[in-house]
Amino acid sequence: MAAASFLEKKGMKILQRNFRVPQGEVDIIAVDGETIVFAEVKAWSAYGIDALEQSIDIKKQRKIIETSKYFLSANREYKYMAIRFDVLFISHGRITHLASAFTERV
């Protein structure tokens, strides 16, 4: 997976790929220093990066957040780490990494 390799080259350690539970799915779970990163990967060539907003809407964000909570409850060794939600956009062989693309709304 190009996105996972990209993150590894940035120094991140990949913990899981395609993590699925009844709550939803997270494409990549990685550790970046003292931060655990839950990353969504979008790859397409027909649309531009501006289409991400519609693709990763509030409903999709909630599913990713709920899935991340499930992962953290099952993997207590990460419970004290900072959490970040990233998006990686792949188009025409180029990867754009949007760190902290969204946060949990309270």
The residue-averaged pLDDT of 49-77 equals 85
* Rounded percentage of the chain residues whose pLDDT exceeds 90: 67
Q: Looking at residue 54, what is its pLDDT?
A: 58
The residue-averaged pLDDT of 45-52 equals 56
Q: Locate the domains of the chain by residue range.
A: 2-102
Q: Given phi > 0 = left and psi -120 to 50 = alpha, else beta, which region is 26?
A: beta
Q: Given phi > 0 = left and psi -120 to 50 = alpha, else beta, which region is 100?
A: left
| 106 pLDDT higher than 80 | no
User: For residues 67 and 60, is the Cβ–Cβ distance under 8 A?
Assistant: no
If you classify domain 2-102 with CATH, what class do you get? alpha beta
72-76 long-range contacts (CB < 8 A, ≥24 apart) are 72/36
pTM higher than 0.85: yes
User: Rounded to an integer, what distance in angstroms lies between the CA atom of residue 80 and that of residue 17?
Assistant: 21
